[in-house]
Amino acid sequence: MKSLALVPVLLLCCAPLYAADGKPGETLPPGAAVETDPKYPPVVSYTLKNGLKLLILEKKFVPTVSFSIAFKVGNVDCPQGKTGLAHLFEHVAFKGSKTVNTKDYAKEKIVLDKIETAAKAMIAEERKPSPDAARLETLKKKLADLEKEADAFVLKDEFTQTYKNLGSSGLNAATSMDYTIYMVSLPANQLETLLAMEADRFKNPVLREFYRERSVVTEEQYMYATQADRTLFKELMAAAMTIHPYRNPIGGWMDDIKTLTMTDAEKFYGTFYVPNNATIAIVGDVKPAEVIRLAEKHFSGWKPSELPDTAYTQEPQQKAEKRFSLFFKATPSLRMGFHNPGFYHPDIYPLVMASEVLSGGKTARFYRNLVEGKQVALYASAGSAVSVRYPSLFTISAAPKAPHTPEELEAAIWEEIERLKKEPPTAWEMEKILNNHDADMVKGMENSLDLAQNLSLAEQVYGGWKFDWKFGEELRKVKPEDVSRAVAKYLVRENYTIGIIRPPAAAAPAQSKGDAK
């Protein structure tokens, strides 16, 4: 069920088989609770005094432990002019702490302070209306020299190398508009090392090699800029959202990235990387009571603080249909966006059903009628939301099959939208979606690391680890007429933005009279 991929699937109503060794309920400390409703897996929940939430699921197959920590902070929370900070911090969070990746932090710190002063001077020069080229060169060289000086104190890549040596799998992190998540799996005997490493990196981070990592992040943005689909999506968000920070690209605007400093990142860390803004999920061959004991030991010294107000400017109602051409060296494709009411509005359920009726598989309407039938599309796919914390966009992405044009495909998609407004889904179409939701719940339990991520995200960002299961319950209440009604309300021209990828030749004046091939 593709459109729910953003709301990662988890949970299962029929999981009697978690090999709980003995009876976890008896040995759990006060404050810990095990889920006993057989509709859900027997997740153990516990909250530390500093507000850090912990979810544990015993899953015995091979002796591994999968860890995920989700923070409710994403690019949406970056200050004005500092987009990309959430993503850059995520990168630097692999650079160690006051005791990891360093030979002598006290001495290193002196150089790090000099680096920061030099970097700020360099950025100030760069930001001048007409920077002095010679002076800028000198400042850049000074920064580079200091970075080399700092290298003398760095134990290179100790954090990642330690994980590698321990046999880690899936060590990674991801930043989205809504959240930042870190994950890793280790052999189960390394549970304490894992928790100690993770606690240390978030309690005592040192943002060493910051400006080099800023270059790495810049390269990442260049890579995305070579990808047509990603570029189209970035342009669509900026066109459709006028004021809400969802309009900013996840990795930040390039010009903002150039202004980011270690000082900015430390402030950002202090604001959002607090235990009361995080949930840890652990899935694997572990004993919950032991996990809780070790989590208390390593994470309880992490200081909480009050979280900032995150009620950002709401997006005003769209008044005009918006269209743009993205001239790009790639074959044509298109992406449509319609403002949705957000995940905390009841209309989201019929909109999810609508996206599935349109594109949930080969029996869905887009495939049957656009890929087959009219054969105008290579693919066409709808999704009810691109983000969760705030209202975002219902999107449709599609590519025409030659000789058909994007305009023909757009018209054909609109025909399906209009038809759905008039012809509610059949009972079969509705039941199919619910059955797939159930099957996805089972698939979501197969891989421990995926499951850990989904549990921590659902708890920390979406409003509770049972989010997906409850979402399924809500989908069951949707009636076919509700789907048509929601489509008629949201998938309308005055709520519509469309971007079309066209070859750069189409932008040339000589070919503007319709003779472009």
Q: What is the DSSP string of 125-191?
A: HHHSSS--HHHHHHHHHHHHHHHHHHHTTB-TTHHHHHHHHTT-EEEEEEE-SS-EEEEEEEEGGGH
- Check residue 217 for interaction with other proteins (CB under 8 A): yes
Task: Judge residue 103's burial from the number of C-beta atoms within 10 Å of its C-beta, 0-12 exposed, 13-18 middle, 19 or more buried.
Answer: exposed
| Residue span 193-212 as binding mask against other proteins, x where in contact by CB under 8 A, dash where not | x--xx--x--------x-xx
- Token readout for 492 is 């309308």
Q: Which residue has tokens 């472009």?
A: 516
- Residue count at the site for other proteins (CB under 8 A)? 85
- DSSP H/E element including 283: strand 278-284
- Check residue 94 for interaction with other proteins (CB under 8 A): yes
Q: How far is it, in rounded angstroms, from Cα 60 to Cα 39?
A: 20
**Angle at 399 (CA atoms; ends 394, 401), nearest 5 degrees:** 150
- Check residue 439 for interaction with other proteins (CB under 8 A): yes
Residue in 7, 371, 461, 487 binding other proteins, rule: CB under 8 A: 371
Paired with 172 in beta bridges are 183
Stretch near other proteins under the rule CB under 8 A, chosen from 214-222, 233-241, 262-270, 480-488: 214-222
Q: How far is it, in rounded angstroms, from Cα 496 to Cα 101?
A: 50
Query: Closest CB to other proteins among 282 and 388?
Result: 282
CB of 325 to other proteins, least distance (A): 16
Residue in 46, 52, 57, 64 binding other proteins, rule: CB under 8 A: 64
Query: Closest CB to other proteins among 319 and 517?
Result: 517
| Residue span 287-316 as binding mask against other proteins, x where in contact by CB under 8 A, dash where not | ------------------------------
Residue in 35, 125, 149, 192 binding other proteins, rule: CB under 8 A: 192
Q: Could you say which residues in the range 348-367 bind other proteins, by CB under 8 A?
A: 360-363
Stretch near other proteins under the rule CB under 8 A, chosen from 49-57, 67-75, 223-231, 235-243: 223-231
DSSP 8-state secondary structure symbol assigned to residue 278: E
- Check residue 214 for interaction with other proteins (CB under 8 A): yes
Q: How far is it, in rounded angstroms, from Cα 115 to Cα 212?
A: 11
Residue in 448, 453, 456, 495 binding other proteins, rule: CB under 8 A: 448
Closest CA to 233 of 76, 387, 403: 387
Query: Closest CB to other proteins among 116 and 315?
Result: 116
Residue in 117, 242, 300, 435 binding other proteins, rule: CB under 8 A: 435
Strands ordered across the beta sheet of 180-187: 33-34, 44-47, 53-58, 278-284, 64-71, 180-187, 169-175
Q: How far is it, in rounded angstroms, from Cα 192 to Cα 498?
A: 50
Q: Could you say which residues in the range 98-117 bind other proteins, by CB under 8 A?
A: 99-100
Q: What is the CA radius of gyration of the chain?
A: 25
Query: Closest CB to other proteins among 32 and 57?
Result: 57
- Check residue 447 for interaction with other proteins (CB under 8 A): yes
Query: Closest CB to other proteins among 19 and 311?
Result: 19
- Check residue 331 for interaction with other proteins (CB under 8 A): yes
Stretch near other proteins under the rule CB under 8 A, chosen from 119-127, 335-343, 413-421, 427-435: 427-435
Q: Could you say which residues in the range 127-186 bind other proteins, by CB under 8 A?
A: 151, 156-158, 160-169, 171, 185
Q: Could you say which residues in the range 456-485 bind other proteins, by CB under 8 A?
A: none
CB of 402 to other proteins, least distance (A): 6
The answer to whether the CB of 300 falls within 8 A of the CB of 50 is: yes
In the three-class reduction of DSSP (H, G, I as helix; E, B as strand; rest coil), residue 234 is classed as helix
Query: Closest CB to other proteins among 256 and 429?
Result: 429
CB of 498 to other proteins, least distance (A): 19
- Check residue 219 for interaction with other proteins (CB under 8 A): yes
- Token readout for 379 is 């693919």
CB of 185 to other proteins, least distance (A): 7
CB of 59 to other proteins, least distance (A): 8
- Check residue 36 for interaction with other proteins (CB under 8 A): no
Query: Closest CB to other proteins among 232 and 458?
Result: 232
Rounded to an integer, what is the distance from CA 178 to the centroid of its chain?
6
Q: Could you say which residues in the range 381-400 bind other proteins, by CB under 8 A?
A: 399
For residue 403, cis peptide bond before it (omega within 30 degrees of 0): yes
Query: Closest CB to other proteins among 128 and 329?
Result: 329
Beta strands in 304-370 (DSSP E): 322-327, 334-339
Query: Closest CB to other proteins among 343 and 367?
Result: 367
Q: What is the DSSP string of 450-504?
A: HHHHHHHHIIIIISSTTHHHHHHHHHHH--HHHHHHHHHHHSSGGGEEEEEEE-G
Q: What backbone torsions phi and psi does residue 205 show, to the nearest 5 degrees?
A: -70, 145
Count the helices and strands in the chain (H runs, E runs): 18, 12
- Check residue 216 for interaction with other proteins (CB under 8 A): yes
